């Protein structure tokens, strides 16, 4: 049994199938692996058998296969035979068989996830150190990812039209996460097919002087979606129980009377205020979905470096972002407490693994689809009187 590994781009390697002799046998979804370097790839596929790597473009195959075989030799302390080295450089797999294996694998690798598996149960305790920042890939290739996302966006567009026409519910999507967790990208890609007339996006940053003259829920309450609309909060009133808790000095700049600033009690009080607000909104027809993009500290560093390397993303970088990394463990504790205290049946939190942006977008789009599908919505019925009115319109055309 030998392994087929196909290269995508400069650094991505995907295990796509196994073959015995000339017969291709694609892997199941559980057998998929991904790696971002040859050593990682070796860790994934080296199981006591010599792997065969198929690389594209063909012109570079010899160098890549030689490098990979050198790692195999070093790891196993064995030297392959001359025949084996020739087989590595010129593997006995035809282009047709390789294409067939890839296509078959793509067809047999549907999205296998339940959005409820990422949901924080009401009353449950959340320890983010126990929650993964990665999960099994929900796509078999970049092409397959784009195909799945396009399908989700199309369904979402259809449900959004129904949502707008029924005009009974409003939907509020709240996105929270550490810097560079992918909030902007998720909103942009998942909501790309939604009619702008039925969707509103608000980003909440440092409060203005006017906003600080009011309670911490005031500035977001002004932006709540109307019935039939989808409202998106990129950060939200949760900032006042997250960053303000990590940096308590922020509270003293919010104009509150000193006797009301009890750093032991104020957070529980604010959790109750948030829960009361969300319960009130649900009773009045607003469905709330809260998404926490759970990213690892190493992945954040990788994305910060990418921002520095890309001229068109330099503007996103700031010293403040680097400074906040020193509070990472505190943020994880504070986020865990917040999610535990404020996830409810009517306003649930979802902890979405975010190290893989593509995976995260597929999960988020599935969560939004499931939420809209669960709402009791229908197009307005046309009465006999309305039919007659419409027919009178026809006669005037």
> Any known ligand binding at 283?
no
| SS3 (DSSP) at 200 | strand
Q: Is 227 annotated as a binding residue?
A: no
Distances, alpha carbon 17 to alpha carbons 2, 32, 317, in Å = 9, 8, 40
Q: How far apart are CA 383 and CA 392, in angstroms?
A: 14
Phi and psi for 167 in degrees, rounded to 5?
60, 40
DSSP string of 43-63, one letter each residue: HHH-SSS------SSGGGHHH
60 is in an annotated binding site: yes
- Cα 242 to the center of its chain, rounded Å: 20
Question: How distant, in Å, are the alpha carbons of 62, 66, 70, 84, 233 from that of 52?
Answer: 12, 11, 13, 10, 48
* Three-class secondary structure of residue 35 per DSSP: strand
Q: Which tokens hold the place of 89?
A: 């450089």
Annotated binding site: 20-21, 60
Annotated binding site for substrate: 20-21, 60
């Amino acid at each position: 049994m030998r392994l087929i590994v196909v290269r995508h781009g400069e650094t991505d390697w995907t295990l796509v199938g196994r073959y015995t002799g000339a017969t291709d046998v694609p892997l199941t979804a559980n057998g998929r692996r991904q790696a971002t370097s040859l050593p990682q790839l070796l860790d994934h596929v080296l199981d006591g058998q010599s792997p065969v790597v198929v690389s594209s473009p063909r012109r570079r195959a010899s160098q890549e296969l030689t490098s990979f075989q050198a790692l195999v030799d070093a790891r196993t302390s064995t030297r392959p035979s001359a025949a084996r080295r020739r087989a590595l450089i010129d593997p006995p797999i035809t282009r047709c068989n390789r294409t067939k294996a890839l296509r078959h694998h793509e067809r047999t690798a549907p999205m296998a996830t339940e959005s409820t598996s990422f949901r924080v149960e009401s009353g449950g305790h959340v320890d983010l150190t126990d929650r993964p920042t990665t999960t099994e890939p929900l796509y078999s290739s970049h092409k397959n990812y784009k195909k799945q996302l396009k399908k989700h966006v199309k369904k979402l567009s259809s449900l959004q039209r129904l949502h707008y026409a029924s005009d009974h519910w409003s939907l509020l999507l709240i996105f929270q996460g550490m810097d560079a967790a992918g909030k902007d990208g998720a909103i942009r890609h998942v909501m790309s097919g939604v009619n702008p007339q039925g969707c509103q996006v608000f980003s909440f940053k440092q409060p203005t002087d006017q906003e600080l003259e009011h309670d911490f829920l005031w500035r977001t309450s002004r932006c709540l979606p109307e019935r039939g609309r989808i409202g998106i909060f990129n950060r939200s009133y949760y900032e006042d129980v997250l960053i303000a808790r990590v940096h308590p000095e922020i509270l003293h700049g919010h104009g509150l009377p000193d006797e009301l600033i009890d750093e032991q009690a104020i957070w529980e009080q604010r959790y109750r205020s948030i829960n009361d607000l969300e319960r009130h909104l649900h009773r009045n027809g607003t469905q709330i979905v809260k998404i926490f993009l759970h990213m690892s500290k190493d992945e954040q560093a990788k994305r910060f470096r990418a921002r520095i390397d890309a001229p068109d993303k330099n503007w996103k970088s700031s010293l403040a972002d680097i400074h906040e990394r020193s509070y990472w463990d505190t943020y994880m504790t504070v986020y865990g407490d917040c999610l535990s205290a404020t996830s409810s049946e009517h306003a649930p939190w979802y902890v979405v693994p975010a190290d893989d942006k593509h995976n995260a977008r597929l999960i988020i789009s599935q969560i939004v689809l499931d939420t809209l599908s669960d709402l009791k919505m229908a197009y307005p019925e046309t009465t006999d009187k309305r039919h007659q009115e419409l027919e009178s319109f026809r006669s005037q055309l």
